[in-house]
Amino acid sequence: MEKDLLKMDDLSKEDILDILNLADQLKYEQKHGIEHPHLKGKSLGMIFEKSSTRTRVSFETGMYQLGGNALFLSNRDLQIGRGEPIEDTARVLSRFIQGIMIRTFSQEEIEKLAKYSSIPIINGLTDDEHPCQVLADLMTIRENKNILEGLKIAFIGDGNNMANSLMIGCLKVGMNFSVASPKDYTSSDKYLNRAREIAEEEGVNFTVTTSPFEAAKDADVLITDVWASMGQEEEHNLRAKAFEGFQINKELMAVANKNAMVLHCLPAHRGEEITAEVLEEHADSIFDESENRLHAQKAVLVKLMK
C-alpha cells in the first residue's frame, strides 16, 4: 500500500481486500469489547475546509478506539486560513503528528499536502474523490451479499466524487459497474477512460448511459448521492431540473434484481435523488454503510500509521 490514500486508484485490488478484511476484524473486536490499541500514543490531525458529520465523528472515534487521539483543525484554526502555503503547513504538522486526514475542495491541494508531508495523508473528501466512503460501501455490500466479484453496481446521479471513486473501486475488485447521469453531468473523461482500462483488465462490464433504467437493469446494488454537492448549492434549481427522472424510486427498483440493496452516502434529500419510501425500506443497509465508515477508516489508519 502507498504511503498515502489520496484517491481510489492508489489502492490495488489486494490493498482494497486487505483493508476490508482488517475492517471486518476490527468491527468484530469492537462489537465484542476487544480492545485494539494499534495506534497508542499516535495523533491524527484532521483538517476540515468542508463541514462534516460522518467524517469527523468516525475518524475521531476511530482514533480513540485505536488508542490514539485526533485533533480537529478547521481552516479557521490553522494559518492556512490566513494564507500560509499548504507546503509549509505540511512540513510543520509532519513534525508534530503521525498522520493527517483532510476534507477539502481541491484534489490538487491534497496532492500538494502529500508531496511536502513526511507522514501519511488520507483523503476525507475532495471535489474529485471520496475513497473512504467507497471502502465503507464495499464493506457493506460484502457484508450483505457475502461476495463482491461478479455483482452489478448501478450508480444513478451526478458524475461527482462518489461516482469517480466508486467506479474505480468497484471495477478493481471485479464488479460490473453502470453509471447513469444526465448528459452534461457525467464524470470527466479522465475517470471514464481509467474505468474502461480497469474494466478491460479485470474482464468486467462498464457502462455509461443517460438512462437510469438501463443502468439499473438487473443491478444487485443501486447507489445514489445528492444532486448538488457541497459548494454547488447555488446550482440547486438548475440541477433539480436536469436530474428529473434520475431518482431511485419503486419504478427503478422494479428493473433491478429482486433482492437489490440500496446505498446512499448521506445526507439524503428525500424526494429528490431518492424517495422517502425506498430510503426507509433500505434504511438498515444505508445506516450500516454509515457505521462502516468507522471500521473501514480504522483499517486505513492502522495500515498507514501503525
Residue 83: pLDDT band with limits 50, 70, 90:
confident
Instruction: For residues 109 and 169, state if they share a domain.
Output: no
Q: What is the pLDDT of residue 81?
A: 59
Instruction: For residues 239 and 255, state if they share a domain.
Output: yes
Instruction: For residues 200 and 86, state if they share a domain.
Output: no
Establish whether 225 is a catalytic residue: yes
Establish whether 82 is a catalytic residue: no
Establish whether 170 is a catalytic residue: no
Q: What is the DSSP letter of 87?
A: H
Instruction: For residues 36 and 155, state if they share a domain.
Output: no
Instruction: For residues 286 and 140, state if they share a domain.
Output: yes
Instruction: For residues 76 and 190, state if they share a domain.
Output: no
Instruction: For residues 285 and 156, state if they share a domain.
Output: yes
Single pTM value for the model: 0.96
User: 133 a known binding residue?
Assistant: yes
Query: Residue 225's domain is classified under what CATH number?
Result: 3.40.50.1370
Establish whether 98 is a catalytic residue: no
Instruction: For residues 301 and 154, state if they share a domain.
Output: no
Instruction: For residues 179 and 199, state if they share a domain.
Output: yes
Domain membership of residue 245 (yes or no) is: yes
Residue 78: pLDDT band with limits 50, 70, 90:
confident
User: 230 a known binding residue?
Assistant: yes
- Given 128, 137, 264, 265, the catalytic residue: 265
Which letter, b or e, does each residue of 208-227 get, where b requires 16 or more Cβ atoms within 10 Å of its Cβ? Answer: beeebbebbbebbbbbbbbb
How far is Cα 183 from Cα 208, in angstroms, rounded to an integer? Answer: 10
User: 69 a known binding residue?
Assistant: no
Each residue's pLDDT tens digit, 262-295:
999 999 999 999 999 999 999 999 999 999 999 9
User: 170 a known binding residue?
Assistant: no
Establish whether 142 is a catalytic residue: no
The secondary structure of 175-208 as a DSSP string is -EEEEE--GGGPPPHHHHHHHHHHHHHHT--EEE
Number of domains forming the structure of the chain? 2
Residue 123 domain boundaries: 8-130+292-305
Establish whether 265 is a catalytic residue: yes
User: 54 a known binding residue?
Assistant: yes
Each residue's pLDDT tens digit, 194-231:
999 999 999 999 999 999 999 999 999 999 999 987 66
Instruction: For residues 61 and 164, state if they share a domain.
Output: no
Residues contacting 65, CB < 8 A, separation 6+: 30, 36, 298
Instruction: For residues 152 and 53, state if they share a domain.
Output: no
